[in-house]
Structure 1
Amino acid sequence: MRYAFAYAALVSTASAHGLVTMIKGDNGVMMPGLGVTDGTPRDCSSNGCGSQADTSIIRNRDMQQNPLGKTQGTGPVDAAVNVAAFMGTSKNAPKNNGASAGVGQEDDLSGLPAGAAKRHEERKNMVRGLFGDLLGGAAGGAGAAGGAAGGAAGGLGGLLGGAGGAGGAAGGAAGGLGGLLGGLGGGGGGTKSNLAAESMVADTAGMGSTQGMPTSDSTGTVSLVYRQINQDGAGPLTAAVDGTSGGTDASAFQQAEVTKDVPGLGIGGLSLATNTDFPLQVKMPAGMTCEGTVGGVKNVCIVRVRNSAAAGPFGGSAAFTQNATARKRAIAYRLRKRMEIAREAVPQIDYTKADAAEELEDEEDE
C-alpha cells in the first residue's frame, strides 16, 4: 500500500519530462536529438526554470499532424531543422532562452564550460561511460534492465499487490519499487549530469559534412542518450522507426524493439530520477531500409521514442543512416519473405483423388 501512496504522491507533484538528447552512431558520430534546442537549461528540473522547453510531447491525437511531437519552446518538431544544422547547410536552428521561450525564469548561464570542442569532448566521455557499461556487461547496465523490466511487469502488482495474496504482493511490490527507484541518484545505468544550458546544436554544427550521419550497427540497432529531467520523464519506453518519410508521415512509422530501456514504473512513466542521462537502444524492424530524405540528406531513418506519462507522453527522436551490413541483411530478409509468399501463392495440385483411384485399381487387379 505504501507504494500506492508513493505513486499517488509522484502523480500529484511531478512536472515532466524526458527527451532524446543525442544519438551515438556505430561509426562514432554523435548528433543532437531532433527536438534538442540550444539555450535550454540542463541544471534544473522544474518547468519554472525552463528545463522542459525542448522535451517533445508526443500525443496520439497530434501525431497525424506532428509525427515527432511538439515542444513548449519552439512548437512542432521538424527533423530537417537539426539535420540541416548538423550538415552545415543551415544556420536557422531555433534557440530557447528561459523566460523568453515562455516556459520559465531565466537561469544564470555563467558556468557554461568554455569552448565547443571542450564541451563535445565531455559529451564523448559521458557517452563512453554510459555505453561502455553495456559492452562490458557491468552491473549498472543490468540494473537498468532489471529496473525497467520490474517497473513494466511488476508496477501494477506493486500498487495492487495486496489483492493478490502475500506472494503476489511481495513480487509485485519488489518489481514496482525497482522501477520506481531504478534511476535514482544516477543508478540503474544512468549518469547524473548538470550543464548550465544546452549547446550541442551549435557545438556540432557542420560536423556532418565531414563525418556523415550517425549509423546503426550491423544488426540495425541504434544507441541513444535519453535524459530524464524529472519524475514523469521515466521509462519504460516504446519505439517506432520511419524508413521513408523523414518523420513527416505518421503512417510511415513501424513499431520497433527497445533492446535497452530506461528504468521506470510501468504505470505513467515514473521514477525518482532527475537530470539523469540513460543509455537507450532501439532495433530497426526486420526488413526495413533507410530511404528517407531529410534536410537534403538521403537514405535517412527517423527513430521516435516516448513513455506513457499521463501528462505527455514525453520522449524524442533522432536521425540516422543504415550500416552497410544492416542494409544488406534487411534486403536479404525482404527477398526471403517475398519468396515465401510466392511459394504460398502457387496453386498446389491435390493428388488425393488420383492416389485413391490408383489404389482402388490396384485392389481390383488383385
Structure 2
Amino acid sequence: MRTAAVIGTGLIGTSAALALTGRGVTVHLQDHDPDAARTASALGAGTTQPPAGPVDLAIVAVPPAHVARTLAEAQRAGLARGYLDVASVKGGPHRELEALGVDLTRCIGTHPMAGRERSGPLAATAELFEGRPWVLTPTAATDTEVLNLALELVALCHAVPVVMDADAHDRAVALVSHTPQLVSSLVAARLEHAEETAVRLCGQGIRDVTRIAASEPGMWIDILSANPGPVADVLARVAADLGETVEALRALQSRDEDERREGTAGIEDVLRRGNAGRVRVPGKHGAAPASYETVAVLIGDQPGELARVFADAGAVGVNIEDVRIEHSTGQQAGLVQLMVDPAAVPGLTAALRERGWSIRQ
C-alpha cells in the first residue's frame, strides 16, 4: 500500500491516517467538515489535496448510518482499488450496500476495537490501535486483493486481525461494547442530582464504572441506532438479573429467616456469576486478570513520583504487567496499584519498602 484516502477525520479516521503516514503511506483526507480535515492534516495525518488518480485503499470512517451512501459515492467516483469501512456495526451497512448495488467484490467491512471517551481529530493518536483486535467481516464476494489490503492496513496500525461474520460481530459488540456504554451512563446518571456529600465519597469503583459515561452522546446515538435489537436483547437479560437482585435485597430486609437466606443466596449467585464472567475477560497477553496480584503503593502528587516507583520496581527485575491509580479526594496523594506476577510480590514489596515507599495491603 502506497496511497490511501480517509473519508471522515474523526478519532478513528485520523488515528488510522496518522498510523499510515507514519509508515510512509501517502494519505488523502476528506470530511464533510473542511475544518476537521484541515485539523487532521495539521496534525500530520495527510493532505487535504485530492489524489491524482485512484488510491490503493479508501477508508470510510463515518457513522454507521452514512457508511453505505458514502462508500457508494466514493466507488462511483473511482476513488480507490479497494474500500473498507470502520463502523462499529457491520450487518446493517452491508445490507444497505447490497441494496445500493455497490460492487461488493471491492469492499469489506471492518471494525477496530479501539476508542477513547474523547472524539474528533484532536483526540487521535497513531498508537490507538496497537495490540487491539481489528475485526474483518469478508463475505464470499470479497476479492482477495481487497482482503489483503485490509490485512495490510491492520498490520500497519499494529492491530490484531480477527475474522467474523457481520451479524455475529454485531451481537458480540452489543454485549462487550454497546451495553457497557449504556450501563455506565445509567449509573452515572444517578450522580447528576445526588447530594454533594455523597458525590465527595466517590472512590475508584464508581470511577471505573462511569469512565465511559463521559463519551459523546451524539456518536453513541448513531451507533446504537444501527444496532438496537442485539443491544435491547442483552439489556433485557440484564434487566431480568436486576429485577431478581432487587427482590433478593428486599428479602434481606425481611424478619423471616427463610426469606433472608433466599435473599443472601440470590445476591451470592449474581456476585459469583460476576466473578466467573470477569475471569473470562482477557488481560495482557491474553491472560486473565486474576493471574496477577496487586501491590499498592502510596505516592505523593508530585512530578516524578510515578517514574521513581516504576524505576525502583525495574531495578529489582520486576515487570509491571498493568497499573491503576486511585486518587484520594481532596488529598495530595494517591494509591498506585501495580499488577505483577504473584511470585514477584514478596520481593517487590520488600524492595519498595527498603527504598522508602509506603505499601498498603
Q: The TM-score by the shorter chain falls in which range?
A: under 0.3
TM-score (norm. length: structure 1): 0.26
TM-score, length-scaled by structure 2: 0.26
Structure with more of its chain in helix, by fraction: 2
